Chain A
Amino acid sequence: MARVETFYEVLRRHGVSRRSFVQFCSLTAASLGLKPAFAEELAQAMQVKPRIPVLWLHGLECTCCSESFIRSAHPLAKDVVLSLISLDYDDTIMAAAGEQAEQCLEDVRREYKGKYLLCVEGNAPLADDGVYCITGGRPFVEQLKDYAADAMAVVSWGSCASWGCVQAAKPNPTHAVPVHEIVRDKPVIKVPGCPPIAEVMTGVISYILTFDRLPELDRQGRPKMFYGQRIHDKCYRRGHFDAGQFVEAWDDDGARQGWCLYKLGCRGPTTYNACSTVRWNDGVSFPIQSGHGCIGCSEKDFWDNGPFYERLANVNLFGAEANADGWAKGAAAVVGAGMAVHAGISAVVRLRDKERHDTHLPPKGGTP
């Protein structure tokens, strides 16, 4: 491979004017939540830095992350894929196939050892030696380990790579595990969501490639800039929540008036994501805006915290399933019946032993 072009050079080659380039830097800096001064830093970095190669692996997944990514409006996926990053391998959208594609993967690993970014979509099933996901003729878990070993950092795309998602939901028959449980010696950035928001994905990549460092992460390993707040915190229906105005049924007047979906199980209050601010499809809408509660797709174990249309999650105990209130009713019945029976026996015993008062030893645990 020849000298790697800078972002700027590629953009110019694609006919982007200097003016447009600077505008793009400002926009990107703004979408990343950076100070205005960073637009300049961004422009500087793009003019002098070579593009960093990106390998995009697919494990056990549904490709919804890729679908989301190529619909990014801001910055346009076209710019990101073709200009910003040097996407050297992505078996879903690359032209090469078979031997050639695998060769590409090998070339990048050899030439950019320790310098490429490994993006992982999906996760690896470990059961039965990983046979439930075979890529390039061998278990995906092996490919993942191999290419993570020489990467600069790993990006976990979506809830599959970040938490396990549907294939890891109970009872997790293929023993699918998220990327950070396999790759332990490299920084792993989780970008959860099913799929993640396109602008969040491109934003994270732009940040890493521009500044040569990972964005600041929260305790769970997610970029703070996009996952620092819950959907609930910035929800435009929040006023109805505080007022106590809830949709009680899907076709009631509250639903028509756009009241809060909390009672119908909206997971906005328990979900860290940027949907209520960035929104989807170039900022057109997001689930709550369309009248459907959030299902919490960027949260760990969201499949196991159902049902989606009820406020309280079901808990499986002793092979039965009920929510906390349901279990409490059962426990209250048992404890209540126990106390009633005990009280009854106590009364009988007391009537029988009425004359026993004077026979006791002095109390323990104190000095009279």
Chain B
Amino acid sequence: MATDTVKLPERPHEHAMDAVGTEPVRPVMSFYVYEWPVRIWHWLTALLVVALSLTGYFIASPPASVAGDTSALFTFGQIREWHFIAAWLLTIGVVFRAYWAVVGGEHARLIYYVPFWSKQWWSDVFLVVKWYLFLNKGEKWVGHNPLARASMFGMFTLGSLAMVVTGFGLYAEQAGVDSWLRGAFGWTLSLFGSSMALRTWHHAGMYLLLAFSAIHLYAAVRDDIMGRVSTVSSMISGWRTFRDFHDE
């Protein structure tokens, strides 16, 4: 925990009165959670997941045919090329983010493993599950709550890694049989049995990441309102603010 940067509270309005003038407005408790490289990575990845899903969907279900001179057209090829460019960028992001998990702060590591054997962690997960089921008033967590951490690790970290690996498996198919790409990722064909099965699972992986994105978005907005903690804005500023706690 020592690596965590802690904001020293500023109290410019400590003695100011609110609109009605009954209570002083107190500064709220804040923590620096998301370092700037993580924030940039987060939004780039979000953008790339949208781009990859769109182009990927069209690769599986091509848009209506275009009429015209075949040799002058590159419509479907263009969609595929965008997919490949976005995929390379996402891959660079995945590698960079893993690097940052090593050199970055404590919170940067959370989504790379779960303390599966820790009883404390499981009881924390249980607390959060109960909170989402409206069975308790909820704990507050500076970084991801334990359940969020588990879903990010399982659905996003492993999910995006699986997409990169299966994606490169498919990408390697168009490279020669003796290419380095086939050497590095050709094993995915053996793993899934056939190129067709590899495609099916890569396609299903897209839906896994989209499902994660939907849940992620819902939980973030909900936490902002129900948990009275900054979530969406914290991925822009880096600061997590607890509206109900005050530095005294």
Contacts and interface: CB of A to CB of B under 8 A. Distances in A.
Interface of A: 218-220, 224, 228-230, 233, 239-246, 248, 254, 259, 262-263, 267, 269-272, 296, 299-302, 305, 311-313, 315, 324-325, 327-328, 331-332, 335-336, 339, 342-343, 345-346, 349-350, 353, 356-368
A306 B215 CA distance: 32
Interface of B: 1-2, 4, 6, 29, 31, 33, 60-68, 70-71, 73-77, 79, 124, 132, 134, 137, 139-143, 173-174, 176-178, 186-187, 189-190, 193-197, 199-200, 203-204, 207, 210-211, 214-215, 218, 222, 225-226, 228-229, 242-245, 247
A367 B3 CA distance: 10
B196 A296 contact: yes
A294 to B, nearest CB: 11
Contact of B203 (A243, A324, A349, A353): A324
Contacts of B245: 360, 362-363, 368
A259 B73 CA distance: 13
Contact of B194 (A240, A241, A259, A305): A305
| Interface residue SS majority, chain B | mixed
A272 B195 contact: yes
Contacts of B137: 353, 356, 359-360
Given A244-B65, A311-B61, A368 B29 contact: yes
B195 A299 contact: yes
Contacts of A242: 73-74, 76-77
B65 A245 contact: yes
Contacts of B74: 242-244
Contact of B187 (A219, A228, A302, A362): A219
Contact of B141 (A301, A313, A364): A364
Contacts of B194: 270, 296, 299-302, 305
B179 to A, nearest CB: 10
A364 B222 contact: no
Contact of B62 (A233, A246, A270, A361): A246
A229 B58 CA distance: 24
B177 A229 contact: yes
A313 B195 contact: no
Contacts of B222: 342-343, 346
B196 A239 contact: no
B143 A366 contact: yes
Contacts of B75: 243-244
5 interchain residue pairs of minimum CB distance: A366-B142, A244-B75, A363-B140, A228-B177, A244-B76
Contact of B200 (A300, A324, A362): A324
Given A219-B189, A263-B62, 15 more contacts: A219-B190, A220-B189, A220-B190, A224-B178, A228-B176, A239-B70, A243-B70, A245-B65, A262-B62, A300-B193, A312-B200, A359-B137, A362-B245, A364-B124, A365-B142
